[in-house]
């Protein structure tokens, strides 16, 4: 028997549809390999407070189709401190947990990386965030579901926009990244997208919408990523209203409905693959790495890279938005 006999699993940061499928895969893969599993509740806060529950195969029955996370999640300031991480280490030791799978985003991996610089209990990450903004993986858990939720909502907005000849500024999630905005913009035939990755002249909305020999449209949809430096959908709408008082403008902020709901098939399958791969990585003596998907293959990416490097949007897709909205 190897040195890993019992593992812990936690979800951390913003929840994402498919996290439950990942938890299920971690638990069942661990049991398949003869390991015991502890669920750690409320993310890193549960490590610090020793909020652990044993998980058996039936604990993860009937969850693959559910949004949210059965383990709950949180953003934990205390884990950012050396004292917090020391408490976490002591609790893990006392519970005889030999390795931890962290399902979360780059903030969660930053904590995991620090912990692995200080302590010898290996942490392996599974990318879980609707934003899809983690370097080293083509995909993050929850992105596909969120994207489809946005597309359904924007299609509905298009009906009313068209009926009233209105311009809509629609705000989607993405604190630092425009993946949801870009992909939903293409999928819904939006006239323009505003994302943090595009700056300067390239984002001149007036030019994009009204310049040259553009067909005059009676209604327009503009998707704005919430993290845009010039403000969200309300700020952009305000600017436009002042310059074009004749245009009938409305704003919709999609908000947290993007984070909920039953995961799509893609999210369930990928979360299952990644959760399972994380356990295999721990058994393989890996530490301080994230399991990711590149070209549909499982890869291991050091936390140091996943956190520090920036995942850029595909610039060809920005051009595509312009071409297809003439």
What span, in angstroms and rounded, lies between the C-alpha atoms of 24 and 43?
16
To ligand F6P, the closest distance from the beta carbon of 259 in angstroms equals: 6
Q: Are 311 and 182 in contact (CB under 8 A)?
A: no
In the residue annotation, 131 being an active-site residue is answered as: yes
Task: CB nearer to ligand F6P: give 214 or 256.
Answer: 256
To ligand F6P, the closest distance from the beta carbon of 182 in angstroms equals: 14
To ligand F6P, the closest distance from the beta carbon of 3 in angstroms equals: 34
43 binds ligand F6P (CB under 6 A): no
Judged by CB under 6 A, which of 10, 25, 60, 130 binds ligand F6P?
A: 130
Q: Are 287 and 122 in contact (CB under 8 A)?
A: yes
To ligand F6P, the closest distance from the beta carbon of 300 in angstroms equals: 23
131 binds ligand F6P (CB under 6 A): yes
Rule CB under 6 A: which of 48-77 touch ligand F6P?
none
The tokens describing 58, both together, are 């039936």
What span, in angstroms and rounded, lies between the C-alpha atoms of 119 and 221?
50
Q: Given CA atoms 43, 110, 276, 313 in this order, what sign does their dihedral have? A: positive
Rule CB under 6 A: which of 164-183 touch ligand F6P?
173-175
What span, in angstroms and rounded, lies between the C-alpha atoms of 11 and 26?
12
Task: CB nearer to ligand F6P: give 18 or 105.
Answer: 105
To ligand F6P, the closest distance from the beta carbon of 254 in angstroms equals: 11
- Sheet holding 192-194: strands in order across? 192-194, 220-225, 167-172, 249-253
- CA 309-281-147 angle, 5° bins: 50
Task: CB nearer to ligand F6P: give 45 or 130.
Answer: 130
112: β partners: none
37 phi/psi in degrees, rounded to 5: -130, 135
**Considering only CA atoms, which of 132, 127, 11, 154 is closest in space to residue 69?**
11
**Considering only CA atoms, which of 127, 101, 78 is closest in space to residue 27?**
101
Task: CB nearer to ligand F6P: give 92 or 223.
Answer: 223
Instruction: Give the x/- contact pattern for ligand F6P in 217-256, rule: CB under 6 A.
Output: ---------x------------------------------
Q: Are 240 and 247 in contact (CB under 8 A)?
A: yes
User: From the candidates 15, 98, 106, 131, which is the catalytic residue?
Assistant: 131
Judged by CB under 6 A, which of 116, 129, 148, 264 binds ligand F6P?
A: 129
110 binds ligand F6P (CB under 6 A): no
105 binds ligand F6P (CB under 6 A): yes
Task: CB nearer to ligand F6P: give 183 or 240.
Answer: 183
Task: CB nearer to ligand F6P: give 53 or 175.
Answer: 175
Task: CB nearer to ligand F6P: give 122 or 263.
Answer: 263
To ligand F6P, the closest distance from the beta carbon of 133 in angstroms equals: 8
Strands 52-55 and 36-40: antiparallel
The tokens describing 137, both together, are 């993986």
What span, in angstroms and rounded, lies between the C-alpha atoms of 1 and 260?
40
**Considering only CA atoms, which of 32, 36, 64, 35 is closest in space to residue 52?**
36
210: Cβ contacts below 8 Å, ≥ 6 apart: none
Rule CB under 6 A: which of 257-276 touch ligand F6P?
259
14 binds ligand F6P (CB under 6 A): yes
List of residues contacting ligand F6P (CB under 6 A): 14, 105, 129-131, 173-175, 226, 259
Which residues are part of the catalytic machinery? 131
């Amino acid at each position: 028997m190897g040195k890993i006999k019992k593992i812990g699993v936690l979800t951390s940061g913003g929840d994402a549809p498919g996290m439950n499928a990942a938890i299920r895969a971690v638990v069942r893969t661990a049991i398949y390999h003869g390991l015991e599993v502890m669920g750690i509740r409320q993310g890193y806060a549960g490590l610090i407070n020793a909020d652990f529950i044993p998980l058996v195969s039936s604990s993860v029955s009937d969850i693959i189709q559910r949004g949210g996370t059965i383990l709950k999640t949180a953003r934990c300031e205390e884990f950012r401190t050396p004292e917090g991480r020391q408490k976490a280490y002591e609790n893990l030791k006392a519970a005889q947990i030999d390795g931890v799978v962290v399902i979360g985003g780059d903030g969660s991996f930053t904590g995991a990386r620090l912990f692995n610089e200080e302590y010898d209990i290996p942490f392996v990450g599974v990318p879980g965030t609707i934003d899809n903004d983690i370097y080293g993986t083509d995909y993050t858990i929850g992105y596909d579901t969120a994207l489809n939720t946005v597309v359904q909502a924007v299609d509905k907005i298009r009906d009313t926009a068209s009926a009233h000849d209105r311009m809509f500024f629609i705000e989607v999630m993405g604190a630092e990244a425009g993946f949801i905005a870009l992909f939903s913009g293409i999928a819904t035939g939006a006239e323009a997208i505003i994302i943090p990755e595009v700056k300067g002249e390239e984002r001149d909305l007036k030019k994009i919408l009204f310049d040259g020999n553009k067909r005059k449209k009676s209604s327009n949809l503009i998707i704005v990523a919430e993290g845009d430096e010039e403000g969200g959908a309300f700020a952009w709408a305000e600017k436009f209203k002042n310059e074009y008082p004749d245009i009938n403008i409305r704003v919709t902020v999609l908000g947290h409905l993007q984070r909920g709901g039953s995961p799509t098939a893609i999210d369930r399958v990928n979360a299952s693959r990644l959760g399972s791969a994380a356990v295999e990585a721990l058994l393989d003596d890996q530490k301080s790495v994230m399991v990711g998907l590149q070209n549909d293959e499982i890869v291991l990416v050091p936390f140091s890279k996943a956190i520090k490097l920036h995942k850029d949007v595909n610039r060809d897709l920005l051009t595509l938005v312009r071409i297809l909205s003439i």
